[in-house]
C-alpha cells in the first residue's frame, strides 16, 4: 500500500504528483516509472500539475440534479468570473445527497446560496468546521448507553475458544444478517468461509468507499458510530484468525476520517486494539487507507487491487476474496453498515434482532433518503417497513406533490412507479417488485420530473466511472449515451428501444463486474415502467430538459 499512500501524501501536500515527483519516487522505491505513471493516470484524485489554490466542487448526479445542481454550479462560476486562483467544476456524487445540491471547497462541505459559496471561495476564510459532530445521535443499533460501556461485547468474547467462535458465527446466521452494501451475501457464511480458508496471514477489510449516487448512510455511521465498526472488525479478527484490519475510506470523507482515527486511538488506549486485546491472546490492529478515488473501487476485488498498489480494475472471479484476497491471502470484507450491526446482535441475541423487524422480517436497516422530500437524511427503520411508511417518516412529498417514481437502492437499481409504494424494504420483496434494495439509497421522485433526464444522469455516471478494463462496459456505456443524446436532440435511430435492450443484454451478460451489468438499469427500467413518458422522447426526438 505504500506507493499509493505516498502518492496521496504528495497530492495533499503539493496539490499534484508531478513528473519530477514520480521520478524521485521511482528511484527511492525502486519501482519502474511507467508503473507509477499508470497509477497516476488511473486514479482521479491525482493531478500531474497543481490546479488553482481553491477548488469548488458541485455534485451533478441524480439528487443534486433534482435540486438544480448544474444551474447552481453555473451561478457559482458566474459569481466568481474573473476571480484569480479559483476552479469551479461539476463532479460525481460527494456522498452528501441529504444536502443537495452538495458542494465543497477544498474538500470541506459547504452550504448556502451560490453567492454565499462564491464569497467563501473568493475569500477562502470562515469555511465551516470540518470536525466530527460532538453530539452524535442515539441510534437503535448501538447496544451501549454510554461511552464507558463501549467494547463490552469484544471484552466478553475475545478470550473465547473455537466453540465460542462457532457460536458467534451461528448467531450471525440465526440473525439472517446479509451484506448491506448491495450484494446481500449471508454474513455468517462469509465469516465461516474465511475462517476455514487455508493460508496465513488473513485480513479483515472494511469497504467504506460508498460513492454511488444517493448513498450516504455509511458516512453517518462512520462519524457517529465508529466504535461499532472498530469493535466488529476486532471481533472479525478474533473469529477468523486475523491480526490486521484495514478501513478503505473514500477521500471525500475527511471529517469521518477524523472521527475514525480518534476512536481507533481511543480503542487502543482502552486495550480494545493492539497486542493482547483486553489481556487475551488475541492481537488485532487497524489502519485507515484513503482511496485515491473512483466508484469502481467499491467493487471488492478492485478495492483489493488498490490496496496492493495496482490500478483498481476488478479481478475475474472465482477465486473469491474469502480464499484469495489481499496479497493472495484469505480476506474477510464487509461494508460499514454490515459491521456496525454485529455488536448489538451479539449483545442482545439473534432473537432480539429478529423481533425488531416487521411483518416477519428480521432486524433494523439504515436507509438514506433524498429527492423530493422535505426532510432527507438517514433513517434507521425495521426491516419490512414499506416504501410508503418510509416516505411518511420523511414528511411525505415536498410541496404537497404526488409521488411519481422512486429509486429504492441507489443508481444501480431499477426505478419503480408509485403504484409499488407498498412494497417492503427487503431484498426479496423488492426483487419481486422488479428492483432491488441495493445500497439502501431511496430517492423519491415527484410528478412533473423529467424521468428520462434523471435516468440518463445515472447512465452517464456509470459511463464516466467505468474503469475501461472490459470492452462491453467501456464501449457499451458510451454508445448508450450517444444514442439517447442523439434521440433527444431530434435524431432518433430506427428501433432505438429494441437496440437499447440488445445493448443492455450484452452488458449484463459479458461485463466483468457489476458496474457494466447495471450501467443501463435506470434507463431500461424507466422505459419499461414509464412507457408513456419515455417512449415518445426516444421515438420522436422530444428534447430532454437541461
pLDDT at 541: 52
Q: Taking Cα atoms as reference points, which of 439, 361, 447 lies closest to residue 407?
A: 439
Helices (H) then strands (E): counts for the chain: 23, 13
CA–CA dist 76, 71 (Å, integer) = 9
The pLDDT value recorded for residue 546 is 42
Instruction: Assign domain 151-348 to its CATH superfamily.
Output: NADH-ubiquinone oxidoreductase 51kDa subunit (3.40.50.11540)
Cell of 379: 433513517
Query: Which positions of the chain have pLDDT values less than 70?
Result: 1, 540-546
Residue 517 to residues 208, 310, 456, 543, 544: CA-CA distances in angstroms? 22, 23, 16, 27, 25
What is the CATH code for 54-123? 3.40.30.10
CATH code 3.40.30.10 region(s) in the chain = 54-123
Fold observed for domain 356-446: Ubiquitin-like (UB roll) (3.10.20)
**Whole-prediction pTM value?**
0.95
Residue ranges of the chain that CATH labels 3.40.50.11540: 151-348
| Residues carrying CATH 1.20.1440.230, the chain | 451-539
- Is 451-539 CATH 3.40.50.620? no
Strands (E) across 8-107 are located at 54-59, 86-91, 103-105
pLDDT at 545: 47
R_g (Cα) of the chain, nearest Å: 23
Residues of the chain with CATH 3.10.20.600: 356-446
Helices 521-529 & 451-465 angle (0-180, nearest 10): 160
Dihedrals phi, psi of 317, to nearest 5 degrees: -125, 145
Residue 142 has, within 13 A of its CA and on its CB side, a CA count of 19
pLDDT at 1: 61
Q: Degrees (nearest 5) of the Cα angle 368, 373, 375?
A: 65
Cβ atoms of 228 and 208 closer than 8 Å: no
Amino acid at each position: 500500500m505504500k506507493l499509493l499512500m505516498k502518492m496521496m501524501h504528495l497530492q495533499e501536500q503539493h496539490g499534484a504528483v508531478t513528473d519530477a515527483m514520480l521520478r524521485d519516487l521511482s528511484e527511492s522505491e525502486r519501482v519502474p516509472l511507467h508503473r507509477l505513471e499508470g497509477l497516476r493516470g488511473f486514479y482521479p484524485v491525482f493531478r500531474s500539475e497543481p490546479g488553482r489554490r481553491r477548488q469548488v466542487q458541485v455534485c451533478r448526479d441524480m439528487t443534486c440534479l433534482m435540486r438544480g445542481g448544474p444551474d447552481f454550479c453555473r451561478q457559482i462560476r458566474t459569481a466568481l468570473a474573473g476571480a484569480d486562483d479559483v476552479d469551479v467544476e461539476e463532479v460525481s456524487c460527494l456522498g452528501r445527497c441529504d444536502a443537495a445540491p452538495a458542494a465543497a471547497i477544498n474538500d470541506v462541505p459547504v452550504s448556502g446560496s451560490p453567492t454565499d459559496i462564491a464569497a467563501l471561495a473568493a475569500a477562502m476564510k470562515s469555511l465551516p468546521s470540518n470536525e466530527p459532530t460532538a453530539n452524535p445521535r442515539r441510534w437503535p443499533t448501538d447496544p451501549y448507553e454510554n461511552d464507558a460501556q463501549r467494547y463490552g461485547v469484544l471484552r466478553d468474547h475475545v478470550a473465547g475458544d473455537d466453540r465460542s467462535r462457532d457460536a458467534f458465527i451461528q448467531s450471525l446466521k440465526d440473525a439472517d444478517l446479509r451484506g448491506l452494501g448491495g450484494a446481500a451475501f449471508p454474513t455468517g457464511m462469509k465469516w465461516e468461509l474465511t475462517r476455514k480458508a487455508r493460508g496465513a496471514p488473513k485480513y479483515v477489510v472494511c469497504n467504506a468507499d460508498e460513492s454511488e449516487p444517493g448513498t450516504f448512510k455509511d458516512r453517518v455511521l462512520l462519524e457517529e458510530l465508529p466504535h461499532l465498526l472498530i469493535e466488529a472488525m476486532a471481533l472479525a479478527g478474533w473469529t477468523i484468525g486475523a491480526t490486521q484490519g484495514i478501513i478503505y475510506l473514500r477521500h471525500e470523507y475527511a471529517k469521518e476520517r477524523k472521527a475514525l482515527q480518534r476512536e481507533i486511538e481511543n480503542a487502543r488506549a482502552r486495550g480494545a486494539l493492539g497486542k493482547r486485546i483486553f489481556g487475551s491472546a488475541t492481537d488485532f490492529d487497524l489502519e485507515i487507507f484513503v482511496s485515491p478515488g473512483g466508484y469502481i473501487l467499491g467493487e471488492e476485488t478492485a478495492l483489493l487491487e488498490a490496496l496492493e498498489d495496482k490500478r483498481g480494475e476488478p479481478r475475474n472471479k472465482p477465486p473469491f476474496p474469502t480464499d484469495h484476497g489481499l496479497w493472495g491471502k484469505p480476506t474477510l470484507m464487509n461494508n460499514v453498515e454490515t459491521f456496525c450491526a454485529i455488536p448489538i446482535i451479539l449483545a442482545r441475541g439473534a432473537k432480539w434482532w429478529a423481533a425488531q423487524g416487521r411483518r416477519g422480517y428480521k432486524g433494523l436497516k439504515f436507509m438514506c433518503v433524498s429527492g423530493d422530500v422535505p426532510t432527507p437524511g438517514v433513517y434507521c427503520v425495521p426491516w419490512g417497513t414499506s416504501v410508503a411508511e418510509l416516505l411518511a417518516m420523511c414528511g411525505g412529498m415536498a410541496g404537497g406533490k404526488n409521488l411519481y417514481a422512486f429509486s429504492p437502492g441507489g443508481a444501480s437499481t431499477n426505478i419503480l412507479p408509485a403504484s409499488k409504494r407498498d412494497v417492503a424494504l427487503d431484498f426479496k420483496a423488492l426483487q419481486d417488485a422488479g428492483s432491488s434494495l441495493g445500497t439502501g439509497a431511496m430517492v423519491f421522485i415527484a410528478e412533473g420530473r423529467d424521468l428520462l433526464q434523471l435516468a440518463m444522469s445515472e447512465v452517464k455516471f456509470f459511463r464516466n466511472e467505468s474503469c475501461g478494463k472490459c470492452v462491453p462496459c467501456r464501449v457499451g456505456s458510451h454508445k448508450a449515451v450517444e444514442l439517447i443524446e442523439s434521440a433527444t436532440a431530434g435524431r432518433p435511430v430506427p428501433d432505438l428501444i429494441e437496440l437499447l435492450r440488445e445493448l443492455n443484454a450484452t452488458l449484463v451478460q459479458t461485463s466483468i463486474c457489476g458496474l457494466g451489468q447495471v450501467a443501463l438499469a435506470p434507463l431500461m427500467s424507466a422505459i419499461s415502467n414509464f412507457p408513456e413518458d419515455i417512449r415518445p422522447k426516444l421515438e420522436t426526438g422530444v428534447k430532454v430538459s437541461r
